[in-house]
Amino acid sequence: MTAMPTTVLNLDEAAAYLRVTSDVLRLEAEAGRTPGKRLGGDWRFTENALSLWLATPNPPQVNGHYMPQGEWNAETEREAEEFIAQMAAYRKSFGVLLSKRTNRRNDLSHRGELGEVSGN
């Protein structure tokens, strides 16, 4: 399956396409309520994504942010919650490991058992 060609628009072009001011579109994009990507300091939008967004009565959102691809449903939400829980557990365990390593290093340093570390 090949991707459909689409036109990439800058902020002013996308605002004109939507018939709103650039300031309104920028604020909506920064809040995650319109489909767009920030590249460097500039916003980029595609006509296809904007058309889909306009044609969707209630675009799927998570925490007020537009979810451009796929269908958002209870199963997807459950999977997202499981992933977030797994990442939180990983970060917590990683923090514990770092804490143990730092504490061990500090213990060795205080007892004079930690040798000099060469920069080379």
Expressed as residue numbers, the domain containing 32 is 8-66
> 38, 39, 41, 36: which is closest to 15 by C-alpha?
36
Q: Are residues 62 and 92 in the same domain?
A: no
Q: Are residues 58 and 15 in the same domain?
A: yes
**Tokens 């904007």, located at residue:** 50
Residue type at position 7: T
Which residues lie below 8 Å from residue 16, measured CB to CB, with a gap of 6+?
none
What's the distance, CA 54 to chain centroid? 22
> 43, 40, 67, 45: which is closest to 56 by C-alpha?
67
Q: Are residues 87 and 56 in the same domain?
A: no
pTM value? Answer: 0.47
pLDDT in tens, 79-98: 777 877 777 777 777 666 65
Domain count for the chain, please give it.
2
The number of helix segments (H) and strand segments (E) in the chain equals 4, 5
Largest Cα span, the chain: 70
pLDDT in tens, 3-59: 566 799 999 999 999 999 999 999 989 888 889 999 888 999 999 999 988 887 665
Q: Are residues 78 and 110 in the same domain?
A: yes
Domain boundary among 43, 66, 89: 66
Q: Are residues 40 and 13 in the same domain?
A: yes
